Amino acid sequence: MIPRLVVAAPSSGSGKTTVATGLMAALRARGLAVSPHKVGPDYIDPGYHALAAGRPGRNLDPWLVGEERVAPLFRHGAAGCDVAVVEGVMGLFDGRGDTGFASTAHVAELLAAPVVLVVDAARQSRSVAALVHGFATFEPGVRVAGVVLNRVGSDRHEELCRGALESAGVPVLGAIRRDDAVVNPSRHLGLIPAAERGAEAVRAVERLGELVARSCDVDALVRLAGTAPPLPGPVWDPAGEVEPVAGRPVVAVAGGPAFTFSYREHVELLRAAGADVAVFDPLRDPALPDGTAGLVIGGGFPEVHAAELAANAPMLAAVAAFGGPVAAECAGLLYLCEELDGRAMCGLVPGRARMTPRLTLGYREAVAVGSSLLTRPGERFHGHEFHRTVLTGGGEPLFRWRDGTGTGADGFGGDRITASYLHLHWAGCPEAAQRLVSSARPSSSRSPSVLR
């Protein structure tokens, strides 16, 4: 039995990150062990969740991992916790394309979890009742069990909203006043990651916890979480997804402020496949970790840190000379290319990248058209794109989008490299971890593997 609730909203920008993160912090301040989760592929919110709960933030995404794995992954992340808080994505019923697949409502049904709807009450009063009534009755399988009013202007405004909502039959569990002091800074891809803000992010999360504690009925929210029924079934176990290789090869995983996008399960799968995982910072470290036999360079914001990355010439040279297996996603792809916004990068893959005003965002069904470290021809992968850069250069693409979305083709591959804009969740394709670790071998037998 895992008490749990889903924090959702009618649309993005309603305040669900404020409420979800603040609730996690408020519950932890009460001495509860809190399991933090995020619906969808987003990497940034889970960083704040981790600060609030003191545990890794984990994603639940039916598109990336398959709907059959959502509940097992939830059980895995929430093991030993007193309560779980799941932050939704976009509007409650917004899923892939024009469907409800992978929506917050979809995940709430898979978890049999009650939903708390965060409603931006600014510039309305009685109309909030019509909005909540519509959301509460739109899909019978989704239980909207409470409302938190956000951006309430005054006592009178709160009174009007509460009175109107009595007719909707959904209790008001909190009313948060407008407070510019708790607004977190954003930039071109959303909130600035917590890892880049350091102590400032910690203070911001503490303020959110205090805000929710004084503005919401936390006891009622805990009771609501306790109404979720038992969630039977297996617990996801990385050891059951891969076979450990001998020799404990060291797999170095990029971290630090420039590479903050990763799913916790990736490291767990690498370890289950027999690797010793070592985190390194391409911004500051002068060399790869001792004994590195494989590299994982995930997503993040290299465009923000391009000058610093370019200035760390010893690390660029070390990655360029590395001959072992390399898996790179989005930011990792940019780091491996020849140039980023005119600054020299590692040069392991052909092409030059630059920032553009255009956001490329969405789920992708990718078909591998070539063999690479992580792919075999004809294999299909469910992933997503999330970037404002474009990469120009030669070579045949590694992936093509089956549904015609996005750019249509993407990626570079070789026997020891997979580099693409495509973000994958390895719980949905554990063979990625298996193939990477199985390809790792002692450094004495490696030679550079530059794509041309």
Q: Which residue has the tokens 């009685």?
A: 126
What is d(CA 155, CA 350) in angstroms, rounded to the nearest whole number? 61
Collapsed DSSP state (helix, strand, coil) of residue 133: helix
Question: Which positions ≥6 away from 298 have C-beta within 8 Å?
Answer: 253, 254, 259, 261, 262, 266, 328, 329, 330, 331, 332
What is d(CA 159, CA 191) in angstroms, rounded to the nearest whole number? 32
What is d(CA 192, CA 337) in angstroms, rounded to the nearest whole number? 24
Helices and strands counted in the chain (H then E): 15, 22
What is d(CA 366, CA 362) in angstroms, rounded to the nearest whole number? 12
Element (H, E) at 117: strand 115-120
Alpha helices in 30-66 (DSSP H): 44-53, 62-65
Question: Catalytic residues, which ones?
Answer: 330
Whether the CB-CB separation of 372 and 325 falls below 8 Å is answered with no
According to DSSP, residue 227 is labeled T
Name residue 141's amino acid.
G
Q: Which residue has the tokens 């979480």?
A: 225
Judged on CB neighbours under 10 Å (0-12, 13-18, 19+), 74 is: buried
Name residue 239's amino acid.
A
Partners of 174 in the β-ladder: 148, 216
**Pick from 322, 384, 331: which is nearest to 89 by CA?**
384
What is d(CA 196, CA 212) in angstroms, rounded to the nearest whole number? 24
β 352-368/339-340 pair status: parallel
What is d(CA 437, CA 249) in angstroms, rounded to the nearest whole number? 7
